Amino acid sequence: MQQNNRPAATISDAERYSRQVLFAGIGTAGQANLRAGHAAVVGVGATGAATASLLARAGVGRLTLIDRDFVEPSNLQRQVLFDEADALAALPKAEAKRHIAAFNGGVGVGAHVADLVPANAAELLGAADLVLDCTDNFETRYLINDVCVQVGKPWIYAAAVGAYAATMNILPRVEDEAGAAWEPTGCLACVFPAAPTGVVETCETAGVLSSAVNFAASLQVTEAIKFLTGQPVLMRRTLVSQDLWSGERSEIGNRRPDPACEVCGARRFRYLAGEQRPHITLCGRNSVQIHEHHRPLDLAALAERLHPLGAVRANGLLLRFEHGAHTLTVFPDGRALVQGTTHVGLARSLYARFVGA
């Protein structure tokens, strides 16, 4: 029997994007701009997976995916790019590119199984037209803010926990003489001069609805599409938050930079310089110590939140939390010892998930 060597049928862009091109806000020219665009997604967990999927389906030509973590069974409830085989194999989340290729092979995806840190942030984010924050901690968000404000690169903050979702566009001032096609907004530090302290709600401790994740991603990607199609003037200039369970909604204005802002006003980039980064050391056999900067914790409140997730022992001087192969010993000043790994990125991830950062 003669083998059929005919090439597999391909799907044309005209077919794939026909309904999107019909939308007056995009059209043929906008679709071409999306094809030429490059977005970086920092964090490919729940929000990041939904964001990357929406960007790829919209036809953004190039994506950079950055994540330090791996897929676990508890992720499947909300992370749209992964399946059971990924969870059983503990697939690095950045490797979501293989699933993107299955539904849109025309999108170029660069996967970086990495922790975004001061040493690599400029390199990993530098080529992108736009950065989308899908992280789980303010330390990384402030680092993204420093990098993007320094070079005048737009980025979009997004967060989801419980039934709550929030997003905000940051359009930094461009310092070169060529100027920019937008009026600058305030940066993250204008709205949040300091990161939250104490015990912070996370998806691990407060849970999360997949609908809240997809709501945040949908808002974020819609704003990204406005930018990538050359329409930054249409981008929202507020921090918008929505509780999908109670129906409560709020918006905080962010139309202009704060002249007193340390970052976009004084242009002091402390997170990029590593000044605000917790010192982390390998500590003995198979353990990592996180020296958090003076972050008082209510260990009793933290114990109550962690109790459903694993074995917890607390005595006022320290808290020990056992979760699978890892044990976190947390102290009242925010320091922690993570046992069961010598991987700094994994230790940081566990701290962010269970203590908050």
How many CB atoms are located within 10 Å of the residue 19 CB? Answer: 7
Residues 7-45 pLDDT 10s: 456 899 999 999 999 999 999 999 999 999 999 999 999
Which residues contact residue 213 at a Cβ distance below 8 angstroms, ignoring those fewer than 6 apart?
46, 47, 50, 78, 160, 165
Q: Are 42 and 135 in contact (CB under 8 A)?
A: yes
pLDDT-based confidence at residue 205 (cuts at 50, 70, 90): confident
Residues 150-204 pLDDT 10s: 999 999 999 999 999 999 999 999 876 566 679 999 999 999 998 877 667 888 7
Residues 110-147 pLDDT 10s: 999 888 889 999 999 999 999 999 998 888 999 999 99
Residue type, 227: F
Residues 49-107 pLDDT 10s: 999 999 999 999 999 999 988 888 888 888 899 999 988 888 888 888 889 999 999 99
Q: First CA to last CA across the chain, in angstroms?
A: 63
Distance CA 334, CA 178 (A): 45
Residue type, 6: R
Q: According to CATH, where is 3.30.310 located in the chain?
A: 279-354
Q: Of the candidates 348, 271, 270, 353, which has an alpha carbon nearest to the alpha carbon of residue 309?
A: 353
Q: Are 229 and 34 in contact (CB under 8 A)?
A: yes
Which residues contact residue 70 at a Cβ distance below 8 angstroms, ignoring those fewer than 6 apart?
90, 91, 92, 93
Q: Are 42 and 132 in contact (CB under 8 A)?
A: yes
Assign domain 13-253 to its CATH architecture: 3-Layer(aba) Sandwich (3.40)
Distance CA 23, CA 351 (A): 44
| CATH fold for domain 279-354 | TATA-Binding Protein (3.30.310)
Q: Are 354 and 328 in contact (CB under 8 A)?
A: yes
Number of residues that this document lists for the chain: 357
Q: According to CATH, where is 3.40.50.720 located in the chain?
A: 13-253
pTM above 0.85, yes or no: no
